[in-house]
Amino acid sequence: METHKQLTIGLFGFGVVGEGLYKVLQQTPSLKASIKKVCIKNPGKRRNAPASLFTTDKNDILNDRDINVIVEVIDNADAAFEIVATALRNGKEVVSASKKMLAEHLPELLALQKETDRSLLYEAAACASIPVIRNLEEYYDNDLLHSIRAIVNGSTNFILTKIFEEGLDFKEALLLAQQLGFAESNPKLDVEGFDAVNKWTLLLNHAYGIVERPENILFNGIQNIQAGDAAVARSKNQQIKLVAQAKKLQNGKVAAFVLPQFVNHDEHLAFVKNEYNGVVIESGFADKQFFYGKGAGSFPTASAVLSDIAALRYHYRYEYKKLYHHTPHELSNDIFLRVFVSFDNLALIPKEKFEWIEEWHAQEERKYLVGVIAFEELKTGTWWKESNTSLVLTPDPVIEDVELRKLKKKSLELAGVAG
């Protein structure tokens, strides 16, 4: 029987996650994993660990032959890529939590793993404590995954909860998310949806074998959401959440996006508050499954890193089954979305771009409409993110091409003009 590997770790980064991992490892001696060196950027900062552990020279770790595992939890995506690429080339196994770096360099990292025959694990990079990557990778057969809907960013969920349920204002809520260590050092990445779409890029790969640049996936954050939007949600017994969604279409392709969405109060995702994340998977035979756990913060994120380190003991690696062992899916833009749009000035809303408009509310303090629009219109236009306009998806927003044609025909028939 193969013995478990002794793991000697070189750690990059000693911030919220790095320090969390250091403490967690001290509490898990049975793992037989020890940190030999920690590379940091700023040697002047006070750290809760012996000074001899730290270095500012990355080569002290990358060229140390005793170190067989690199754990990379730094903030700078470009530097992180250099570290991870060099570590793999130097024959080391790698665990990373840098979702931005991983999402932006996915094709190169896939190639590097093949070329170097090393393992790169990153469970902490999506939904922190929820083991969603390994589940998508190992458990589901490609054809059975009908859809995934998820809250993948803890900070925006925390902010929405604090504003709409506890009455804080946006700035207070964001400050609190920063103080608690949930937010990115550049909080724009959270608030404007960049972090969520980076995570979605990774999950789309493990769920469907899709390799796509994050900027090619339709996304927005919560920056445009207004108090009036939340009031509409409340009046319908709904909440607004930032939801990442992927749905397998009848044409075999997958529609995917990350947008604010109205969520019915009795849905699983409505249960997800504060920095928690949640993932609802619909598959052929299991039907609906709900994964829930902390999506940000020191220990929850460190727990996922720890689990990856533990998995390296038995030489675990992602096989990228959906990409290499199945026919990978393609993304599709051939859908329509039922959207709520609130605005100050109707003149700035291109009404002609909608297939139809179902509701007009022009008398309210904050005016809004509900209508159906082609996905492609949102991908190519930016009006819906500008001039204080707010776009929120309705629950169950996806209308496929065939359905749209049927709905149009029916409404013409009802109007007595068919044929």
Of 251 and 307, the one with the shorter C-beta distance to ligand HSE is 307
Minimum CB–partner distance for residue 155 and ligand HSE (Å): 3
With CB under 6 A as the contact rule, the residue among 104, 190, 212, 308 that binds ligand HSE is 190
Indicate whether 242 belongs to the interface with ligand HSE (CB under 6 A): no
| Positive or negative: CA dihedral 20, 26, 27, 32 | positive
Indicate whether 201 belongs to the interface with ligand HSE (CB under 6 A): no
Indicate whether 96 belongs to the interface with ligand HSE (CB under 6 A): no
Of 128 and 280, the one with the shorter C-beta distance to ligand HSE is 128
Indicate whether 140 belongs to the interface with ligand HSE (CB under 6 A): no
Minimum CB–partner distance for residue 35 and ligand HSE (Å): 22
Of 120 and 128, the one with the shorter C-beta distance to ligand HSE is 128
Q: With DSSP H G I counted as helix, E B as strand and the rest as coil, what are the percentages for the chain, rounded to 5?
A: 40, 25, 35
Of 8 and 98, the one with the shorter C-beta distance to ligand HSE is 98
Indicate whether 123 belongs to the interface with ligand HSE (CB under 6 A): no
Distances (CA, A) of 240 to 130, 155, 265, 386: 22, 14, 10, 19
Under a CB-based contact definition with an 8 Å cutoff, are residues 218 and 259 in contact?
yes
Q: Tell me which residue of 110, 115, 56, 111 sits closest to 91, measured CA to CA.
A: 115
Place of tokens 């749009």: 341
Indicate whether 212 belongs to the interface with ligand HSE (CB under 6 A): no
CA–CA separation, 401 and 409 (whole Å): 13
Indicate whether 98 belongs to the interface with ligand HSE (CB under 6 A): no
Place of tokens 């829930």: 292
Minimum CB–partner distance for residue 183 and ligand HSE (Å): 5
Question: What is the DSSP pairing of strand 287-294 with strand 276-283?
Answer: antiparallel
**Which residues from 284-313 bind ligand HSE, rule CB under 6 A?**
295-296
CA–CA separation, 203 and 148 (whole Å): 10
Catalytically annotated residues: 199
User: What is the end-to-end Cα distance of the chain in Å, rounded?
Assistant: 74
Which residue's beta carbon is nearest to the bound ligand HSE? Answer: 155
Of 304 and 309, the one with the shorter C-beta distance to ligand HSE is 304
**Residues near ligand HSE (CB under 6 A):** 128, 153-155, 182-184, 190, 195, 295-296
